[in-house]
């Protein structure tokens, strides 16, 4: 029996190499996952590292329709990170690609490998602002106000539209 599709939201980020291209490539790769389609994507944003080091990040959020289970989706995201050269030498190290499951339908998941909703998404402007573009009903205004001091700039707002 085939599972009904679930709407999932995925955060994308990169701050090593051609970060913008890495995020664009990841968006295309997500659309090629089995039983998964990208149904919407936010703008790209440039953000200073938050609780991390290295150059500025390129961030986005995408909405997927998927028949993959949450653990299958997580494994697929980790495989895409590996293909992009992701290394994890220490916590919050700069990265070629970072993909996080933010929301998986209305599920609450608390396992050793996956927590949904993402446990730190409510403290991160680089997640909440692009998520609010796609699903304003899923991002309380109070949460956006709580991260208003974090610098986040839509790429189109940058001079010439260029970013790291």
* Catalytic residue IDs: 86, 95, 98, 100
Q: For tokens 């609780």, what's the residue?
A: 51
Contact in structure between 64 and 8 (CB atoms under 8 Å)? yes
What CA–CA distance (Å, rounded) separates 53 from 7? 32
Work out the burial of residue 103: count CB atoms within 10 Å of its CB; fewer than 13 is exposed, 13-18 middle, 19 or more buried: buried
Do residues 40 and 90 make contact, with C-beta atoms less than 8 angstroms apart?
Answer: no
Dihedral Cα 118, 66, 136, 119, nearest 10 deg:
0
Q: Which of 19, 14, 39 is nearest to 99 (CA)?
A: 14
* CA–CA dist 148, 113 (Å, integer): 30
Which pair of tokens denotes residue 162? 């260029």
């Amino acid at each position: 029996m085939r599972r009904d599709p679930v709407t999932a939201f995925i955060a994308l980020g990169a701050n090593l190499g051609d970060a913008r291209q890495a995020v664009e490539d990841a968006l295309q790769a997500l659309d090629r996952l089995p039983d998964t389609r990208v149904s919407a994507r936010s703008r790209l944003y440039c953000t200073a590292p938050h609780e991390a080091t290295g150059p500025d990040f390129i961030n986005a959020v995408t909405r997927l329709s998927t028949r993959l289970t949450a653990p299958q989706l997580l494994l697929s995201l980790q495989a895409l990170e590996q293909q992009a050269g992701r290394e994890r030498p220490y916590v919050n190290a700069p990265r070629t690609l970072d993909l996080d499951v933010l929301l998986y339908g209305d599920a609450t998941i608390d396992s050793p490998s996956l927590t949904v909703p993402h446990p730190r998404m409510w403290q991160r402007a680089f997640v909440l602002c692009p998520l609010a573009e796609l699903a304003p009903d899923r991002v309380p205004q109070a949460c956006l106000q709580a991260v208003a001091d974090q610098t986040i700039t839509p790429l189109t707002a940058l001079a010439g539209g260029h970013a790291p």
